Structure 1
Amino acid sequence: MTRCTVFGASGFIGQALTRALIDAGHEVHAPGRGEHLDLAIDLGHVFYCIGMTADFRSRPFDTVRAHVSLLLDLLERHRFQSFLYLSSTRVYAGADRAHEDVPLTVNPHDPSDLYNLSKLAGEAICLHSGKPRCRIARLSNVVGFDPHSRNFHAELIREALSGRILLQSAPSSEKDYILLRDAVGLIMRIGLHGEAPVYNVASGVNLTHERWCAALARATDCTVGHAPDAPEYRFPPIDITRVRGEFGFEPVPVLEAVPSLVEEFRKFPDQ
């Protein structure tokens, strides 16, 4: 039986990963926040799922603490067989290509780049810590049912269920999305068997906001509009050649899950 330790197991990704590891027959320890860990115990295969999401701009100290400070303590003081740090494909913002090996740029004067800076600091610490088998998984926008989520797709579904979507960004805006089950499956394989230092966990296909809205309109009969002069946001397509080649990964089209997601969110109208 393989021993695994999941940090951030109460979060959206962490919960699903913990369930999947247990279902696969692994021994899983999910430390609670502030739990003391015995330095003599080998943590086995570590999955670091701690991170900030949509509220990082209003919580800069918590963002750096989650992405860097807690990580430092684990890497410096504890023993493990492997360590997988969950980062984000947001780090490719402003890049022409989104391959794992491209140089990346950030701007410390841009408050939005605090997220990218702290994630990249965490990546660099992992890759240069000198500890065994430290790897990075850069996650795209993960789509799944989370009644407490304030991410784009969750808010869009809530608007659709209210009867009208009013986009605050241009319908032509686009980025990559991956279904939760696909993301968790890849995270498990990378954490337990990955050979490369960095992996993109994504679908490799950008979806426009217009296509999201069309799928939701079919599922809910809602109307769709957008704010005047709504800005356009575009991200480069995420390169998934590495996970395709090493793991034979082929993503399920995200929009196929829209009807089931709508039904899940319909059960929690007040969240």
Structure 2
Amino acid sequence: MTGLATILGATGFVGRRLRARLTAMGWDTYAPAKGDTSLFGRDMGVVFYCAGLTADYDRRPFDTVEAHASLVNELVRAGRFEQLIYLSSTRLYDGLAAPVADEATPLVFDLLDPRRTYDLSKALGENIVLTRTEGRGAVARLANVYDWELESPGFLSQWLVEAARTRGLELASSPHVVRDYIHLEDVVSALLAMADRSVRGVVNVASGELTSNGEIANIFLQAGWRVGFSGDASPPAPPQVDIARLRALGVAPAPVKDAVRGYLQGLTA
């Protein structure tokens, strides 16, 4: 499948890689600059909504709401697209007490927690896309995305990038922290599959497996690196994410431990 793709957030972590893959496949890609309102007056084809805040959302709550809900609201109001794929987050499951969460699991938020501005703004963006697009909207809930390309954001990405520079690593975290990790290439494959199949509704874009920092550290140790942690906290693990719908699209994410092991072997070759 090829055609016109509009990428909001095309200079970001996911958007940049997605645009490169779409271009290589022969798509006509349009990447409007931030603040360019002319996009609302043109046909946009398949829209990939990759815009958003991650690490600095707590420091910039109003910008977070603007990026996650206000802009997509205007885009949906304009309505000049064939399909809209909105990138959200599996963080929306963090308020659940259940051990496993799938796309149909009702979400729970603590309205008095200021850090939930991120989750609530994403949830509002999801609601607009799923209920106000006349059946043309889909949501990709992304787990913790990582890559080893220089300047890749996120805890694991920075860990991997640093490993190429030094064999002694001191990490500002705890070995007991548990997350679901998915590689950037698998995320892009999932988004392309959602576009190709004209998917509607929510798809969990995750590995479906929770992995602790300590488990990843053991792979580093076995490969000859030294790893230390500055903390020892044991926060509650998030729910395990069900990825049956993602697998039904033909996407099988690489287990993070296999990917890390292969990356380190490449560094030592």
The answer to whether TM tops 0.5 is yes
Residues in 2 aligned to 1:109 and 1:3: alpha-carbon distance in whole angstroms: 42
Deviation at 1:233, TM superposition (A): 4.1
What SS is found at the alignment partner of 2:185? helix
1:192 matched to 2:225? no
Matched, 1:112 2:110: no
1:213, CA displacement in angstroms? 1.1
Superposed, 1:14-53 pairs within 5 Å as 14-37=15-38, 39-53=40-54
Instruction: Quote the residue 2:80 is aligned against.
Output: 79
Task: Indicate how the Cα distance of structure 1 residues 147 and 159 shifts in structure 2: closer, same or farther if over 3 A, else same.
Answer: closer
The CA deviation at 1:138 is 0.2
Deviations 1:193-246 (CA, angstroms, capped at 9, x unpaired): 243410000111111111111223344x3333334642334111110011112x
State the distance in 1 between where 2:131 and 2:47 align: 17
- SS of residue in 1 equivalent to 2:120: helix
Report the CA distance between 1:18 and its aligned residue.
0.6
Q: Secondary structure of the equivalent of 2:241?
A: coil
Report percent identity of matched pairs: 37
AA of the residue aligned to 1:59: R
> Relative to 1, partners in 2 of residues 1:217 and 1:80: Cα closer, same or farther, differing over 3 Å?
same
Name the CA distance, whole Å, in 1 between partners of 2:125 and 2:15.
18
Q: Any idea what SS the aligned residue of 2:129 has? A: helix
Q: Report the Cα distance in structure 1 between the residues aligned to 2:46 and 2:161, rounded to whole angstroms.
A: 37
Partners in 1 of 2:69 and 2:265 — Cα distance? 37
Q: CA deviation at 1:116?
A: 0.5
2:183–2:254 contact (8 Å) kept in structure 1: yes
2:142 counterpart residue number: 139
Per the normalisation by structure 2, the TM-score is 0.88
Letter in structure 2 aligned against 1:117: L
Q: Residue 181 and residue 158 in structure 1: after superposition, are their counterparts in 2 closer, same or farther (change >3 A)?
A: closer
2:247 alignment partner, one of 244, 247, 250: 244
Which SS does the other structure have where 1:58 is aligned?
coil
The answer to whether the Cα contact below 8 Å between 1:142 and 1:177 also exists between their aligned partners in 2 is: yes
Which amino acid in structure 2 is aligned with residue 119 of structure 1?
Answer: K
Residues 144 and 261 of structure 1 are in contact (CA less than 8 Å); yes or no, is this contact kept in structure 2? no
Q: Paired residues, what number? A: 264
Q: Secondary structure at the match of 1:112?
A: helix
Name the residue aligned to 2:185: 181
Structure 1 residues 130, 30: closer, same or farther in 2, change over 3 A? closer
1:58 is the counterpart of 2:87: no
Counterpart in the other structure of 1:99 = 102
Q: Conserved in 2, the CA contact under 8 Å of 1:175 and 1:236?
A: no
Distance 1:258 1:74, change over 3 A: same
Residue identity in the other structure for 1:199? V
Structure 1 position 171, deviation (Å): 2.0
Give the drift of 1:123.
0.3
What is the DSSP-based 3-state SS (H/G/I as helix, E as strand, rest coil) of the residue aligned with 1:105?
coil
Q: Distance in 1 between matches of 2:44 and 2:137?
A: 13
Q: Do the aligned residues in 2 keep the contact of 1:165 with 1:213 (CA within 8 Å)?
A: no
Report the alpha carbon displacement of residue 107 of structure 1 after superposing the two structures with TM. 1.1
In 2, the alpha carbon distance for the partners of 1:240 and 1:259 equals: 23
